[in-house]
Structure 1
């Protein structure tokens, strides 16, 4: 065999190799950004021709226009990140359900503001670990929560691309980049603080504060509560006294989108629940129903002045003033939900399944199917909460 035949010729620093065959022709081979080796679909008469083909492939990789060649298949259009992300967002489901409108809007804003400029025009297969690392190093520095959200979205999109075999590996490999430490240290309100806070609120919103704090209801759940969702039960005890209990049925929530208010389901399947109200709240709840709620079954419990859904900003203006009077300028409205969890787990004596059922929390659907609160225990928890006040 003449010298050099049947051997790869690799010039120092050159991209790929030119393999001379016994026939005298050359085969070109190279390793792509995905770590796999690829061969030219044809043989070349000279090494120069083979090197020229390799140079073209190298140029594609450098300008992020490379996609894995499919042997024996007609060329297919390159799928860019922007196009794939658009389809991903349109078809994305969680636990078999489409994304919530607020979640979809949040993802779209992350794409528009932080991902498309960097990755939008690039073919999916050309995005490398180095590309993602470089983007992450300079994106949303100083805003850890939003940075984690953007990275998680990118990782999710690329993960689906791997699952659907659009790419061979996920380039998002930064450990812990999808999570962030809580900046706001949550300190639940104490009973005296809660009492002061409630008294400082306008009268039409006091019951809303109490339901958020004692029942752990979310803002969107409370602003969609209607008269038909509250059931008051009167029982006559052996001593002849009448004791009242109340249950609120949470099965809807309202969110504010770019198009206005939208009534939807709660945040998760576990969010659809019946919550017993502590008996000591019943006088204020009954007073609120009589004074501020329309007689129709569909009347909102906490309507805006115009009769529609209450906007967060409208309530927060009053809440910020009230929390200052309670000496809790750090307290956010959502922290009242944490207050409710603390009260239920402490004086209420709720165990973990009961707490998750009462608050509508769900870490994962599979776990919730096996964590069942005992029937009737939520009412006992509610009664224990009232005893903590009277006792």
Structure 2
């Protein structure tokens, strides 16, 4: 006959098989039985002691929770998360291509750091570009962070491997002012102002494509950025900028104001809601269609900018702003970033500005009658 023994936490009993069973009442009010039986009563009690300590430390998770498959949890995470449409499509793509086929069959609790290392190695050895592998890793880390911090399914996130969340990005080129104007002159006339404004404002492609007449104040020399245009798989969609910091008003140099003034008169319909930059038939801009229409690769090479991307115009504008003396906070505002990380990138590119400062110091020293050694 089975024997019972009461204890402070949980209970153990001897089964007819002569092995010992351990049971306990979890914090969620559910009675649970140990997944295995024990050869001795002492072993069963030790197991209960471990479970009790986990509960007291706040580290206990329902054992059955870890049996949830990553495929199910990841799909639900993407579906229920509040995401911009384009971000959602990117996450669906990354999960379907790089995560689900390799790890989707695993229970969350079965995913360990060693699992992550093996998975990443397979991706890279299979020809997945490193930037894609990093994006997939960061998505998986975000999903499992929710399992740890919000749903309390896991104790630790296995995606905690140093260096897996970054990759080396070669320095992107910047154009000189002469090259910017040379590129604008090489464009079909209706796109010349787009090049100049992109280089002198630092706006993103999607922000430029979404600009309307009501967003530009030529007298104040400013442009308001209240929205972006996102190209989804099956449609274009207007929406808020990339982040809250993306909603901003950017001051424009006189050269950009002049280009916009001519462009508005020649290519933009009347009415405050008229899009400023459109295709030849007046439709909203798509980056792919634009690239083909202007023969981008050939055109940038013709002005000495081989390999130059449209986004490099934003890089050019931000570098120019940094070299003109913009502070980190001012750069963050112009760029539409809420953190200093991106803005600090441009602080390194101010050697020319440093030389200008040195020359100004030299002029002041000379002006005050001090002779250079």
The TM-score, its normalising length taken from structure 1, stands at: 0.70
Greater CA drift, 144-153 or 115-124: 115-124
Kindly indicate whether residue 227 of structure 2 is the aligned counterpart of residue 252 of structure 1.
yes
- For residues 379-390 of structure 1, the aligned pairs below 5 Å read none
Deviation of 1:99 (Å): 1.3
Correspondence for 1:138: 122
Change (3 A) 1:22 1:214: closer
Change (3 A) 1:269 1:364: farther
Per-residue CA deviations over 1:59-84 (Å, capped at 9, x if unaligned) read xxxxxxxxx875xxxx7894211111
Kindly indicate whether residue 230 of structure 2 is the aligned counterpart of residue 230 of structure 1.
no
Aligned length: 299
Kindly indicate whether residue 299 of structure 2 is the aligned counterpart of residue 322 of structure 1.
yes
Deviation of 1:43 (Å): 5.6
Out of 69, 82, 88, the position equivalent to 1:80 is 69
Deviation of 1:185 (Å): 2.4
Change (3 A) 1:42 1:324: closer
Per-residue CA deviations over 1:200-231 (Å, capped at 9, x if unaligned) read 11110111111110000110011111111111
**Moved >6 Å (runs of 4+):** 19-24
Per-residue CA deviations over 1:270-324 (Å, capped at 9, x if unaligned) read 1111112111333321111011000121111111234221110122231323311
Deviation of 1:232 (Å): 1.8
- For residues 267-306 of structure 1, the aligned pairs below 5 Å read 267-306=242-281
Aligned-partner Cα distance in 2 for 1:204–1:355: 29
Correspondence for 1:158: 144
Correspondence for 1:218: 204
- In structure 2, the gaps of 5 or more residues are 1-11, 23-31, 44-60, 344-373
- In structure 1, the gaps of 5 or more residues are 1-18, 30-37, 51-67, 93-97, 234-244, 369-391
8 Å contact kept, 1:27–1:40: no
More helix as a share of residues: 2
Aligned-partner Cα distance in 1 for 2:36–2:160: 36
- For residues 81-230 of structure 1, the aligned pairs below 5 Å read 81-92=70-81, 98-141=82-125, 143-163=129-149, 164-182=151-169, 184-230=170-216
Aligned-partner Cα distance in 2 for 1:170–1:131: 12
Aligned-partner Cα distance in 2 for 1:328–1:226: 30
Aligned-partner Cα distance in 2 for 1:77–1:168: 10
8 Å contact kept, 2:67–2:109: no
8 Å contact kept, 1:196–1:325: no
Change (3 A) 1:40 1:213: same
Query: Which secondary structure state, in structure 1, belongs to the residue aligned with residue 238 of structure 2?
Result: strand
Change (3 A) 1:283 1:129: closer
8 Å contact kept, 2:109–2:154: yes
The TM-score, its normalising length taken from structure 2, stands at: 0.73
8 Å contact kept, 2:226–2:240: yes
Aligned-partner Cα distance in 1 for 2:65–2:297: 57
Query: Which secondary structure state, in structure 2, belongs to the residue aligned with residue 254 of structure 1?
Result: strand
Aligned-partner Cα distance in 2 for 1:276–1:354: 11
Per-residue CA deviations over 1:161-210 (Å, capped at 9, x if unaligned) read 1112112221223211011110x421210122112111111110111111
Deviation of 1:346 (Å): 1.3
Change (3 A) 1:69 1:324: closer
Deviation of 1:40 (Å): 3.7
Change (3 A) 1:41 1:268: closer
